[in-house]
C-alpha cells in the first residue's frame, strides 16, 4: 500500500477555464521529496479514494508540489472535490510521486503536444528541459483560453498555444516535424487527439514517441485470457480468477495491500511483481523490459493455468 504524505493547501488558484491549480506544501515547512518531470501523484479524496494528477510545478522546487485540475462535468468525485471543497489551509493526503511518462533518455530534441488540461506534465518537462539547455517545443491545443495560461506564457516562445476556436488545428506534420534521429515526440490529451497522434507517428522509429492517457481507454476482453489460480508468494494463499476477472479484486480478497487509482492501466499505482505464469499485459505504462517482471493488477489477465505474484 502506498505511503501517504501529509500536505497542506497553500494556494488554490483559478488558472484558466474550469481549471484550479493547487500549491501544496509540507505543513511544517520541511522540504518535499524530489520527483521526475512527467510524474504524477494521488490525492486522497475523502469518502472516495485516490485520484491521480500530474505534477505541473518546477521539479527543482523542493518547497512545493503543484497540480492543476479541470472541473469535469462527469467527475468521479476528484475534480468536484478540488474545485468545491478545498480551500487554502486545508490538509490533504497524497502518495509519493511516480513517473510513468518520463523525458526520453538520449533524445536531443523534444516535441510535446498537449490537448487542454493534458498540458500539465509538459509544464514540468519544459522547465527541466530548458534548465538542461535542451532543444524543445510545446504545442498546446485548446478551445478558447488555455489552462495554466500564465505558466505556459512564462515558458517563452517555445511554448505555443493554438486556439482551435479561432483557427483549425495545425496539421500533425506541422506540429511534429519530420522524424529524425534524436527526435522524440510526446502527446497527452483526450482520446481522439491521442488516436490522431498515434496515426500520425505510426511510421516513426520504434521508441521515438510516447503518449499519456488521463482517462483510461476502453479495454476489449483479451482473447487468450483463461481462468487461472492466483497465488501470493508471500503467504501461499491462492484463489481462482475467472477469465477476464479482476486480479486486483482477488489480490485484495487474499489480503494483499495493493494500491490503485485509475483502475484502467494508465496511472501505475497497482504495479506488482510476478514470478511465475504468463500474464497478459494490457496497461499503457510499463515498458517491455519492465513487463518481464511486473504487471498492473487492475487490468492484467492471464494466459496460463496459474500465476504467482509477490506480496
pLDDT, the chain, mean: 93
Look at residues 46, 74, 99 and tell me which one is the last residue of a structural domain: 99
125-136 per-position pLDDT tens digit: 999 999 999 999
The enclosing domain of 138 has a CATH number of 3.40.50.80
* Rounded Cα–Cα distance for residues 269 and 69 (Å): 19
In a domain, 128, yes or no: yes
Cell numbers for 251: 489480490
- 93, 117: one domain: no
- 64, 94: one domain: yes
292-302 per-position pLDDT tens digit: 999 999 999 99
In a domain, 220, yes or no: no
* Rounded Cα–Cα distance for residues 65 and 9 (Å): 10
The enclosing domain of 256 has a CATH number of 3.10.20.30
Which of these, 233, 149, 139, lies nearest to 187 by C-alpha position?
Answer: 139
CA distances from 213 to 59, 99, 267 (A): 21, 13, 9
- 116, 95: one domain: no
Look at residues 160, 182, 213 and tell me which one is the last residue of a structural domain: 213
In a domain, 287, yes or no: yes
The CA dihedral of 287, 293, 298, 303, to the nearest 10 degrees, is: 100
Whether residue 75 has pLDDT greater than 80: no
| pLDDT for position 2 | 52
Look at residues 46, 70, 99 and tell me which one is the last residue of a structural domain: 99
35-71 per-position pLDDT tens digit: 999 999 999 999 988 999 999 999 999 999 999 999 9
In a domain, 147, yes or no: yes
* Rounded Cα–Cα distance for residues 295 and 283 (Å): 8
In a domain, 222, yes or no: no
In a domain, 79, yes or no: yes
- 194, 280: one domain: no
Whether residue 76 has pLDDT greater than 80: no
- 114, 74: one domain: no
- pLDDT band for position 309 (cuts 50, 70, 90): very high
Which domain range does residue 83 map to?
A: 4-99
- 47, 123: one domain: no
* Rounded Cα–Cα distance for residues 252 and 254 (Å): 5
Query: Helix/strand/coil (H, E, C) string of 58-112?
Result: CCCCCCCEEEEEECCCCCCCHHHHHHHCCCCCCEEEEECCEECCCCCCCCCEEEE
- 72, 114: one domain: no
- 159, 246: one domain: no
Q: State how many domains the chain has.
A: 3
Higher pLDDT, 246 or 2: 246
pLDDT > 90 fraction of the chain, expressed in percent and rounded: 85
128-164 per-position pLDDT tens digit: 999 999 999 999 999 999 999 999 999 999 999 999 9
Cell numbers for 184: 522524440
Which of these, 145, 208, 219, 207, lies nearest to 176 by C-alpha position?
Answer: 208
In a domain, 104, yes or no: no
| pLDDT for position 61 | 96
C-alpha angle with apex 256: 307 to 251, nearest 5 degrees? 45
Beta strands in 215-292 (DSSP E): 228-232, 238-241, 271-276, 279-280
Residue 122 is inside which H or E element, if any? helix 120-132
Whether residue 269 has pLDDT greater than 90: no
Q: Cα 139 to chain center, whole Å?
A: 19
| pLDDT for position 264 | 87
| pLDDT for position 233 | 94
- 235, 273: one domain: yes
In a domain, 219, yes or no: no
- Model confidence, pTM: 0.84
The enclosing domain of 50 has a CATH number of 2.40.30.10
Q: What is the DSSP letter of 118?
A: G
* Rounded Cα–Cα distance for residues 173 and 197 (Å): 10
- 92, 113: one domain: no
Q: How many residues does the chain have?
A: 311
Q: Mean per-residue pLDDT for 2-13?
A: 90
Amino acid at each position: 500500500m502506498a505511503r501517504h504524505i501529509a500536505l497542506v493547501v497553500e494556494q488554490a488558484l483559478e488558472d484558466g477555464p474550469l481549471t484550479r491549480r493547487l500549491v501544496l506544501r509540507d505543513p511544517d515547512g520541511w522540504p518535499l521529496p524530489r520527483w521526475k518531470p512527467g510524474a504524477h501523484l494521488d490525492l486522497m479524496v475523502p469518502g472516495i479514494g485516490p485520484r491521480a494528477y500530474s505534477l505541473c510545478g518546477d521539479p527543482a522546487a523542493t518547497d512545493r508540489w503543484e497540480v492543476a485540475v479541470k472541473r469535469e462535468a462527469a467527475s468521479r468525485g476528484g475534480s468536484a472535490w478540488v474545485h468545491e471543497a478545498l480551500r487554502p489551509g486545508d490538509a490533504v493526503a497524497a502518495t509519493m510521486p511516480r513517473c510513468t511518462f518520463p523525458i526520453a533518455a538520449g533524445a536531443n530534441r523534444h516535441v510535446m503536444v498537449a490537448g487542454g488540461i493534458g498540458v500539465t506534465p509538459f509544464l514540468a518537462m519544459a522547465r527541466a528541459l530548458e534548465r538542461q539547455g535542451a532543444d524543445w517545443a510545446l504545442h498546446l491545443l485548446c478551445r478558447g483560453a488555455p489552462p495554466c495560461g500564465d505558466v505556459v506564457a512564462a515558458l517563452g516562445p517555445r511554448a505555443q498555444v493554438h486556439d482551435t476556436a479561432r483557427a483549425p488545428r495545425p496539421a500533425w506534420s506541422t506540429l511534429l516535424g519530420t522524424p529524425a534521429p534524436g527526435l522524440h515526440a510526446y502527446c497527452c490529451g483526450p482520446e481522439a487527439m491521442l488516436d490522431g497522434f498515434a496515426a500520425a507517428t505510426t511510421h516513426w522509429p520504434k521508441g521515438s514517441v510516447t503518449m499519456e492517457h488521463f482517462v483510461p481507454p476502453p479495454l476489449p476482453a483479451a482473447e487468450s485470457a483463461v481462468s487461472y489460480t492466483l497465488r501470493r508468494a508471500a503467504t501461499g494463499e491462492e484463489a481462482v480468477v475467472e477469465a477476464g476477472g479482476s486480479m486486483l479484486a482477488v489480490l485484495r480478497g487474499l489480503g494483499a495491500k495493493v494500491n490503485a487509482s485509475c483502475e484502467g492501466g494508465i496511472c501505475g499505482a497497482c504495479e506488482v511483481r510476478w514470478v511465475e505464469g504468463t500474464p497478459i499485459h494490457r496497461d499503457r505504462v510499463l515498458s517491455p523490459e519492465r513487463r518481464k517482471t511486473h504487471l498492473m493488477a487492475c487490468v492484467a489477465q492471464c494466459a496460463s493455468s496459474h500465476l504467482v505474484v509477490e506480496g
